[in-house]
Structure 1
Amino acid sequence: MTLFNLGSINLDHFYEVPHLPAPGETLIAESHQTGLGGKGANQSAAAARAGARVVHIGAVGSDGAWAVNRLNELGINTAHISTVKAPTAHAIINVDPAGENAIVVFSGANMKQSLTQLKAALLTAKRGDMLLLQNETNLALEAATLARSLGLKVVYSAAPFNAGATKALLPLTDLLILNAVEMQQLTEATNSEALTPATIVVTEGSKGGYAITPEGEQRFPAFPVKAVDTTGAGDTFTGYLAAALHEGQPLESALRLAAAASALKVTKKGTADAIPSRADVEVFLAAQT
């Protein structure tokens, strides 16, 4: 079984700052680091760290070979990452002492996905495989349409939130994942109409979150940790949840695993490179009982 991910690939620039900048304010950063990021790459990394077989579909510029190499090192199949005539995407991430962040993203190559490349990748899939999508690339709607026709399950992380893109993808989505703010935005965009995905998972940070299923609503807890960098926590949750469900775990245990992985992630600085291994997450979980 394989998890396919049409996802963004970024060069993340991290700046530790005394506080998040206010409008018009100039700050002196206390440190600077770079690393692999982007919602797509983070979620692929998380799913792979959770033990899933992951095929990443994406695009980089001529300056992006390092990112493909890093994805390979993380155990991700990169055969369907193309090199395009646009710079590799990047993000500027300011992180304050409490681990909160403010992020600006330049999309670059992420919005240059090839329909030919996408079809070539998904036509290798088997019925029952899974497709993971976010809102940081083009061709998400085309990917979901093709995936559904091939019998794949579609998992959609509707971030960064875009009302038009999200409403178009809802009828093709099996599992929708949002945070509390995005859920509120979606409710407003759809005028509180009934949503079509079979399962909707809403994360609420330190409060945990809840899942809406045909059987009703079930809550899941967060795990108390000292956060040093919350960047990528949601992506870690999404990748782990998708991997756990794909391997056949019931929703309750998959949510618990994903919440634990997300909690461990925020105790480390960085994004894709800071995502914990399955073994580390299971040790952490064992200590909670």
Structure 2
Amino acid sequence: MKKSLTLSAALLAASAFVAPAMAEHHGDKEAVHEQLESPLDPILASDIRKDDMARDKYRHPKDTLVFFDIRPDMKVGEYAPGGGWYSRILGPLLAEKGQYVGLFFNPDNLPFSDEAKERTRAGAAKFPEDVAKWTGISADKFPTYTMDKVPAEAKGTMDRILIIRMMHNMLRWNMADSEIAAMRDLLKDDGMIGIVQHRAKADASYALSDGNKGYLREADVIKFMEVHGFELVNSSEVNANDKDTADYENGVWTLPPAFAKKDVDKEKYEAIGESDRMTLLFKKRP
């Protein structure tokens, strides 16, 4: 088994990334991806991820970030970062030469109580300290905004925004239009959005693919993004799982890690693993 590296070792590897060489090969995806491997590998193996690694076989973080062409000198926003699974990768990766930004729901658009909306604002406010605690990197390295409080100077500055398994919530809560519009404003002219999303079957009924079961049809996601000013650059099957039938009464939460049915048929769902997921990269259109 590969020995875990400390965070300091991970940061040292990240800082060793050679920016001029990256710029020289900007149009050569294969060369850029090879360069990404150097800073990513020690971060993925670091001790700060010891509780996260069990899910790597389902989430494929290295291949996913390589596909999204994430580089250490970029400004990258993660939408609805939650418990910090990707924060513990992106925070160290971007801390020296780039910037990792937490992006949270506009609470006013959430179909929840005022108390729940305030919890969203409070969670966003404490997120930089959370990332600092997880990574050992100063909190001031990690700006965080709710989507209704984005400062004017942040607009047009981001290279990438990642939406990881959250499109279904935006759609079922009827807030996707405004949230994607706000994200588009944050991106540079050549900025991109990377989406990982639980995938319904191509011929799934509306009831199985409207987001309330956690699943969306890939064609619907692509069309939605096109309507909102993006073009599909590429798609990947890196997060595919053909064992997932995507038709469970309890939705995607039937599968690990949620196990909505508790111990009922747990071995069956463990054998399936986590959901089948589309992995899509979109570029902002002029």
Q: TM-score, normalised by structure 2?
A: 0.30
Query: In proportion to residue count, which structure has more strand?
Result: 1
Query: In proportion to residue count, which structure has more helix?
Result: 2
Q: TM-score, normalised by structure 1?
A: 0.30
